[in-house]
Structure 1
Amino acid sequence: MNTWNQRFLESEYVYGEQPNAFIKDYVSFLKESPNIAAYAEGEGRNAVFLASKGHTVTAYDYAQSGLAKTEELAQKQHVSVQTRLTDLLLDELPVEKYDAAIMVFGHFPLQQQQAVIQKIIDSVKQGGRIMMELYSIYQLAYASGGPQQLDFLYDPKDILQWCEPHKIIHFFTGEQIRHEGALHTGLAHTIQFIIEKK
């Protein structure tokens, strides 16, 4: 059983039920995006939040237990979220299907990061938006969440380079306070971006 599936089996929402602060603060940038994909979505807090704002949302994750909790949270909030059991490293994603895509703290090995992010960009229509918050390579020193291996963190210079072919609406790297359940708490070092696909 994969570790994420194991992690999400408990009834408590390990990253909380509230959306990620970046998604919440910048949700207005998605207002022209009716159909959104939420990748590596875990227990569904961001997908449910976007659905509550009137978007049609599909949550992708490779932990079945996380998707089950996404559906439970959606029901609790009286919204609807589609779920798709998907391994972003191995599985194909739809191409040019969504008006926007988000990913919050999706962790992948360094060698595969660019390919995963490109697949996510490819799943969005031209002119659509992609919005992410990721832990940077400087996060290791902070002990406030995220992978304990450098290889699973992101270099801001790489992310900027992968965003460059598109219109960059927002790009930030630096310290943020995050209070997201038991596993993401305190001062963190993140990378945020919003791009419009060219």
Structure 2
Amino acid sequence: MNHWDDKFDTEEYIYGTEPNEWIASQLKDDGEGKKAALLAEGEGRNAVYLAKLGYEVATYDLSRIGARKTEKLANSQNVEVNTSFQDITVKNALPIQQYDISIIVFGHVPPQGKEEMFSNLINCVKENGEIYFEFYSKRQQEFKTGGPGNIDMLFDIDEIKGYIKELPAEIISLEEVILERDEGFMHKGKSAVIQGHLKKSGTQNQ
């Protein structure tokens, strides 16, 4: 088993079963007829939330155990989620221009994989599609209420802007905020996060 299989190998949903608050605040409307890709989705809490809104949902994650828990959660809510075993840090890990929205929540990857992760996150979306994300910022090391201990796996605003400027996306909002997170037993307490909303635009970069 890999690192994430080890973490998810429990009956409990370690990040809970409710959607991330940022995602739930941004996506509330009927998603019928729309397709959503969720990267590094883990145990499926956000995927199931979107499926309940009517989206056709696909997840891409390195944990097969997480995928099984996603499917179990989806079945318990009478919705369907298509799960795929995939490393989101490799080139063209996701199909190009296939989705109406893409999402990643706390999908922290090794620093050498960050650029390709953003490429996949943005390039999988159709023109005029929407991209949403929430990551722990580097200030999260002050709070230690979740996220990786390696500061190079965390983010700052300028770093994210650097990845986005090479890709066909317009920044709608991008900010660092200090807030409370209560997501299972792994994310609990005051947290420093970066929340982003992008719009797909322009010529596709591959």
* Fold shared, TM-score > 0.5 on shorter chain: yes
Residue number in structure 2 paired with 1:152: 153
SS at match of 2:175: strand
Measure the CA separation in 1 of the matches of 2:33 and 2:137: 27
SS at match of 1:93: coil
RMSD: 1.7
Runs of 5+ unmatched residues, structure 1: none
Residue 159 of structure 1: CA displacement? Answer: 1.2
SS at match of 2:193: strand
Structure 1 stretch 81-90 or stretch 42-51: which is displaced more?
A: 81-90
TM-score w.r.t. the length of structure 1 is: 0.94
Measure the CA separation in 2 of the matches of 1:135 and 1:62: 20
Does the Cα contact within 8 Å between 2:157 and 2:174 map onto a contact in 1?
no
SS at match of 1:94: coil
Does residue 79 of structure 1 match 2:79? yes
Does residue 14 of structure 1 match 2:14? yes
Does the Cα contact within 8 Å between 1:33 and 1:100 map onto a contact in 2?
no
Amino acid in structure 2 at the alignment position of 1:193? G
TM-score w.r.t. the length of structure 2 is: 0.91
Does the Cα contact within 8 Å between 1:33 and 1:99 map onto a contact in 2?
no
SS at match of 1:191: strand
Residue 111 of structure 1: CA displacement? Answer: 2.6
Residue 33 of structure 1: CA displacement? Answer: 7.4
Does residue 41 of structure 1 match 2:51? no
Measure the CA separation in 1 of the matches of 2:156 and 2:66: 27
Deviation track 1:107-166 (CA, whole Å, cap 9, x = no partner) reads: 112232122111211111111111000011111111110000101111211113333552
Structure 1 stretch 49-58 or stretch 83-92: which is displaced more?
A: 83-92
Residue number in structure 2 paired with 1:52: 52
Q: Percent identity?
A: 39
Cα distance, 1:132–1:29 mapped onto 2, change above 3 Å: farther
Structure 1 stretches of 4+ with a deviation exceeding 4 A read: 29-33
Does the Cα contact within 8 Å between 1:135 and 1:153 map onto a contact in 2?
yes
Measure the CA separation in 1 of the matches of 2:90 and 2:2: 14
Measure the CA separation in 1 of the matches of 2:39 and 2:111: 18
Number of residue equivalences: 198
SS at match of 1:179: strand
Measure the CA separation in 1 of the matches of 2:90 and 2:162: 23
Deviation track 1:62-108 (CA, whole Å, cap 9, x = no partner) reads: 10000000000000011111100111123622111111100000011
Residue 30 of structure 1: CA displacement? Answer: 8.4
Residue number in structure 2 paired with 1:114: 115
Measure the CA separation in 1 of the matches of 2:134 and 2:42: 14
Aligned partner of 1:169 among 169, 172, 189? 172
Amino acid in structure 1 at the alignment position of 2:150? Q
